[in-house]
Amino acid sequence: MSKSSRSPQTSNPLNPLRESAHRSWRPRILLGSLLALLGAGAARGVAATAPVTARGIDPIPGQERYLKDSDLKKVGASLTAYLEARDEGEGVTEAEVKLKAEISKLEKKLAKTPAKGNLLASPGDLGRALWLSFDYDHKKRIAKAGKVSEQKTWDDYLFTKKDPLNYAVWTPEKYRPKTDAYTLILLIPDEGEKPFDCITEDWTDPGLRSAIIAAPAMPEDTSLWEENDGFARVLGLYKELTNNWAIDFDRIYLAGQGRGVQTAVTIASIWPERFAGVIGRRGEVGAIEADNFSNLPCYFAGGGPKTEAFGEQAKALGYDGITLQPDGLEEDIWTWIQAHPRNSYPSHVVLLATGRTTRMYWLAVPLTSDSTLVRLEATIDKESNTVTVEGVGATEFTLYFSDALLDLDKEVTVVANGEVYKDKIPRSFRQTVNSFYKAAIDPGKVLVASKFYHLPAPAEEGGDGD
């Protein structure tokens, strides 16, 4: 069993992701953050101007690395010290000075790379430093490798020692957190199904068992599964796992079985950028709009008319990431997983905002009421360093920037419903560390700047647009 660490974050009742994390949700502990493994394993030495890869695996686009782990470990350790200082409210200035000093030491090694000496301009290296700050190899092992075990955790906020979050977890037999990062399958069981039984009876394929598989105990009342109580259990387990197990943040899959399929798809529609994909087995999707799945692939083995309708809706929107295979087996799921890492830096984003959904990857709008239709579609053209945003229902939006998306050394053009903005977007150390602390980004999705924009009414609504 474990008790989550705590950090002084403010709860937001409209955002179960934040709420379930509350005082313990941040990058070092997790999703507070989320990070991604940029290569899975110890990187091999290479020339300074060539991207570092791990175990010969090509990095995911946008996450190329130019520094070795040995270069980044001190930054990771300094980042941990800084985050702990903020938790404790003491020594923050001193910790920040040390963190900046460690970062500055890497300028020469990055000088002849595309990052031009700036760690903030190298998303892969910065993300890897965050991953290293978790120090997984020295974490106390909560569960024995090579078996399914039942565990419990609490944070003294939503979960207490008397009323903990109960879950079951499979840890691969040859678990090596020092050198490897692991695929995570976060599984929501069927109604009335125990997490232990769900994993031991239905997720036994050797390929799947090379991943970490975990399932929370869901509320007995299924009407709560798509409410804060159900969300908190799933996302609270996400935090627990990424805090204590060496997870590859670009390979986290949200799975549902039976009644759990509807919950999995609902959660994914609100926070799609947190997952690499969604898996459904023997269950229906529910009444979910497909708009927010433009970059989130789904695999359904089984299902019925609602699942088929969801697939058709996605197809009509031009999405090709929905796979329906009624007779799909466990080995088919594993094959699909291997082919679908997370798209951390998509060039095209659709945001259908609701009372819960206000941010999608690098695009965000202010919180709105459920009755207001807010739908934005944004596209990045890296060659021209341009972002085009078109939409209805909102008068303002925020863009978050990374050199994985645009060249921040150059002027960035933003076209918002025809109105043109041209700005130089400075990378911000302050914003980056605050985002780490507040769980807004993760190592596989590092965003280092942001800017607020006005969205004029589209021409068809506002006449000539003046």
6 belongs to a structural domain = no
Provide CB contacts within 8 A for 452, sequence distance 6+: 396, 397, 398
- Burial category of 109 from C-beta neighbours within 10 Å (exposed 0-12, middle 13-18, buried 19 and up): middle
The region of weakest confidence among 26-30, 38-42, 155-159 is 38-42
Stretch 37-46: mean pLDDT: 26
21 belongs to a structural domain = no
Q: What's the confidence (pLDDT) of residue 62? A: 72
- Half-sphere exposure for 301 (CA within 13 Å, toward CB): 16
pLDDT surpassing 90 at residue 199: yes
Which of 338, 356, 390 represents a domain boundary (last residue)?
338
Stretch 67-96: mean pLDDT: 93
182 lies in the same domain as 329: yes
β-pairing verdict for 247-257 and 359-360: unpaired
116 lies in the same domain as 164: no
Stretch 364-390: mean pLDDT: 90
**C-alpha–C-alpha distance, residues 71 and 463, integer Å:** 56
353 lies in the same domain as 424: yes
Q: Report pTM.
A: 0.86
Q: What are phi and psi of 168, to 5 degrees?
A: -120, 145
Identity (one letter) of the amino acid at 112?
A: K
Question: What is the extent of the structural domain holding 279?
Answer: 142-338
246 belongs to a structural domain = yes
5 belongs to a structural domain = no
Asked whether 204 and 237 are in contact (CB, 8 A), the reply is no
Which of 86, 105, 133 represents a domain boundary (last residue)?
133
Q: What's the confidence (pLDDT) of residue 18? A: 35
322 belongs to a structural domain = yes
69 belongs to a structural domain = yes
12 belongs to a structural domain = no
Residue with tokens 């008790």: 3
pLDDT surpassing 80 at residue 149: yes
**Tens digits of per-residue pLDDT, 119-132?**
999 999 999 999 99
- The angle, 0 to 180 degrees and rounded to 10, between the axes of the packed helices 92-104 and 429-438 is 120
Kindly report the average pLDDT of the chain as a whole number: 85
Asked whether 300 and 307 are in contact (CB, 8 A), the reply is yes
- More confident site: 356 or 19: 356
pLDDT surpassing 80 at residue 64: yes
Provide CB contacts within 8 A for 66, sequence distance 6+: 48, 49, 50, 51, 52, 109, 110, 113, 114, 115, 122, 124, 125
Q: What's the confidence (pLDDT) of residue 424? A: 97
To the nearest whole percent, how much of the chain has pLDDT over 90?
70
Q: What's the confidence (pLDDT) of residue 195? A: 96
280 lies in the same domain as 371: no
146 lies in the same domain as 128: no
Q: What's the confidence (pLDDT) of residue 167? A: 96
How would you write 144-171 as a 3-class SS string? Answer: CCCEEEEEEEECCCCCCCCCCEEEEEEE
pLDDT surpassing 80 at residue 85: yes
50 lies in the same domain as 197: no
**pLDDT band (50, 70, 90) for residue 59:** low
197 lies in the same domain as 296: yes
149 lies in the same domain as 259: yes
pLDDT surpassing 90 at residue 386: yes
Tokens of 48: 């300074």
Q: What angle do CA 200, 272, 352 make, to 5 degrees?
A: 140
Q: What's the confidence (pLDDT) of residue 1? A: 58
**Tens digits of per-residue pLDDT, 254-303?**
999 999 999 999 999 999 999 999 999 999 998 899 999 999 999 999 88
287 belongs to a structural domain = yes
Asked whether 334 and 315 are in contact (CB, 8 A), the reply is no
**C-alpha–C-alpha distance, residues 242 and 248, integer Å:** 9
pLDDT surpassing 90 at residue 216: yes
Q: What's the confidence (pLDDT) of residue 20? A: 34
**pLDDT band (50, 70, 90) for residue 319:** very high
**Tens digits of per-residue pLDDT, 398-451?**
999 999 999 999 999 999 999 999 999 999 999 999 988 887 888 889 999 999
Which of 133, 164, 192 represents a domain boundary (last residue)?
133
Tokens of 302: 């089984």
In Å, what is the CA distance from 122 to each residue of 117, 336, 445? Answer: 9, 30, 12
Q: What's the confidence (pLDDT) of residue 160? A: 87
274 lies in the same domain as 376: no
**C-alpha–C-alpha distance, residues 109 and 222, integer Å:** 54
359 lies in the same domain as 323: no
126 lies in the same domain as 193: no
Tokens of 398: 């925020």
Looking at the chain, the number of H-run helices and the number of E-run strands are: 12, 18
Domain count across the chain: 3
| CATH number of the domain encompassing residue 279 | 3.40.50.1820
205 lies in the same domain as 310: yes
